[in-house]
A and B are shown apart, each in its own frame.
Chain A
Amino acid sequence: MRRRPAWLWAAAIFAYAFLYVPLLIVVVYSFNDSRLNAEWVGFTFDWYRTLASDDQMLKAAGNSLMIGIVVSFVSTVLGTMAGLAMHRYRLRLLPILIVAPIAIPEILMGVSLLIFFVLLNFTLGLVSVALAHIAFCIGFVAIVVRARLAGMDETLTEAARDCGATPASAFRYVTLPLIMPGVIAGALMAFTLSIDDFVITFFTAGAGTITLPLQIYSMIKISVTPEVNAVSTLLMLLTLLLIVVAAKLSPTLLPSERETTP
């Protein structure tokens, strides 16, 4: 084995601690029997009980869930189509439009959609948020699906076509089952991105519409309360679960030297 000096380990452990201790503190204090997130007093489930009876929070969670499911479904369909189109054909415009929303500052997309919706007299609310989320999720799904297609043996689809299958049935019975793990991983990713998004939602939700991140934002702007710790803990659990499932389905989501090459 190659030499790995102790200071390297120390620096790496410090970096990991830096990444995890803050999140750990959030989780631990969600069970703390004190209004102040300052020191450990005793164990309690009170903050989760408070959460369960907080109508505003439940409404926000419901909205986020609903938007997440719709966004995940629509952007998966559109993103899979985009991934397929980019894999099979030489296109000029589509790849740019797929990457651009990911590459440009998030805030630009938020404010430009705000102008767009207001100028069209489109009422800001759940629908405008969902439309905005779909716009930035398509790219992520397309990239995951395309990566899956790149690792697939295209001769299988061609064989199906040679055997007389129509393009539609060759897709339905050969290509789709083969890329399914990628499609599901893309859907889970879109759901996670949608449920987590703050910046674009902030600009496109308008007054009076809340999602989970917006609700958390307005709570922490006022004060630090362990109820936020509780909802954060639950949200982290949900995200973790989705990521584990997505990663199991599509190993390309996890870095290995081939995918992370800049």
Chain B
Amino acid sequence: MGSSAPHPEPLAARGEREPSTREAGEGRRKPRASLGKWLVGAPPLLYLLVFFAAPTLIMVLASFRSPGEFGGLAPIVDETGKLDLNVDSYVRFVTEPVFARVFVKSAWYATLTTLFCLLLAYPLATLIAKSSRKYRDLLLLLVILPFWSNFLIRIYAWMIILGPNAALAKLVNGTLALFGAAPVPLLFSGFAVLVCLVYVSLPFMVLPLYANLEKHDQALLDAAQDLGANAWQRFWRVTFPLSLPGVYAGAALVFIPALGIFAIPDILGGPEDTLIGNLIKQQFLETRDWPFGSVLSIVLTVAALMLAGIAAWVGRRGAGRRA
């Protein structure tokens, strides 16, 4: 065995720093690699096939079945021997406008979340990118840290802040009373859902934006200034177009999870704030209509993956044009 050991290949071929170029180092496929490949790769592969790929496929199949009488799925072959495969649930999704409306509403909330995150994140990312190396990691860490606290705790925090007895509600409703307006509830409203969505999504906008802004060449801005561009023009004509790949990446990272969220509208939303996530939860845990719930989940996932694909494509195209 020892005599068949390979010669170390040149370091350069491996691309030490860029993980992506490592893929090119195909020279490392050795004859005995196949055994090691299976020993090391098979257990995680098998686990993910069983506990991720199989459930997903089963769900795709379930979306073409009929709901069972007492929830779940109807028997695959009924008394007459007919195979239970149909597109009824898809037809229902397309023909009943109430579901499309929920999707539109979710997309609307996700869009607003993305815009507000962008507005908040841009100055923050700019500041971090312009800070000296010494503080940069700390400032970034401070952005990420809240993300590691429990998701429910972050929702709960807004229950406290927006609660009817809290200072904010008293202030808002006191002001409204001055103008003779009726008090508005802050909690259990679309406003609460939106604020919390922005809150939990913000780090995902800051990170890609920062990663992009940090690479900008100051010389370009200096050149623009020399050519007589004012601060606004420098931002709008130089910095912002250059930062678009970061914006797209951040938008994808914010929009897609926001689209499928269910805990936030479930806890902070009012009765009208039913989003896709809540609809899916209802289908599985309350109505127990699995086929329809599966259809909703699949439509959501396909929409999310398509958006991610578009964001990646637009980002790459934008990067390519400038290169």
Contacts and interface: CB of A to CB of B under 8 A. Distances in A.
Contacts of B62: 115
B193 interface: no
A25 to B, nearest CB: 6
A119 to B, nearest CB: 7
B144 interface: yes
Interface string B153-196: 11111111101011100000000000000000000000000000
Contacts of B317: none
Interface stretch (A5-13, A47-55, A177-185): A5-13
B146 interface: yes
Contacts of A247: 141
A164 to B, nearest CB: 4
Interface string B20-59: 0011001011000100110011011101110111111011
A147 B130 CA distance: 27
B105 interface: no
Contacts of A146: 19
Nearest to B231: A5
Nearest to A94: B45
Nearest to A141: B44
B95 interface: no
Contacts of A20: 142, 146
A25 B161 contact: yes
B199 A22 contact: yes
Contacts of B161: 22, 25
A113 B5 contact: no
Contacts of A217: 152, 263, 267
A70 interface: no
Interface in A83-136: 84-85, 87-91, 93-94, 97-98, 100-101, 103-109, 111-116, 118-119, 131-132, 134-135
A79 B120 CA distance: 35
B23 A97 contact: no
B271 to A, nearest CB: 15
B250 to A, nearest CB: 8
Contact of B207 (A108, A142, A161, A260): A260
Contact of B127 (A4, A88, A154): A4
Interface residues on B, range: 35 or more
Contact of A116 (B14, B17, B54): B54
A71 B53 CA distance: 19
A211 B165 CA distance: 30
Nearest 9 interchain pairs by C-beta: A105-B260, A262-B249, A85-B41, A11-B123, A22-B157, A116-B55, A82-B44, A38-B165, A112-B55
Interface of B: 1-2, 5-6, 8, 11, 14, 16-17, 19, 22-23, 26, 28-29, 33, 36-37, 40-41, 43-45, 47-49, 51-56, 58-59, 62, 72-73, 120-121, 123-124, 126-128, 130, 132, 137, 140-146, 148-161, 163, 165-167, 199, 202-203, 206-208, 210-212, 214-215, 218, 245-246, 249-250, 253, 256-257, 259-260, 262-263, 267, 277, 280-281, 284-285, 290, 293-294, 297-298, 300-301, 304-305, 308, 315
12 contacts: A4-B130, A22-B157, A22-B161, A25-B157, A82-B45, A89-B33, A115-B55, A116-B51, A132-B51, A192-B148, A199-B263, A260-B207
Interface of A: 1-2, 4, 7-9, 11-12, 14-16, 18-20, 22-23, 25-26, 29, 36-39, 78-79, 81-82, 84-85, 87-91, 93-94, 97-98, 100-101, 103-109, 111-116, 118-119, 131-132, 134-135, 138, 142, 146-147, 150-151, 154-155, 158-159, 161-164, 166-167, 192, 196, 198-199, 203, 213, 216-217, 220-221, 224, 228-229, 232, 235-236, 239-240, 243, 247, 254-258, 260-262
Given A88-B28, A255-B207, A256-B137, 5 more contacts: A16-B142, A19-B199, A19-B202, A150-B16, A260-B207
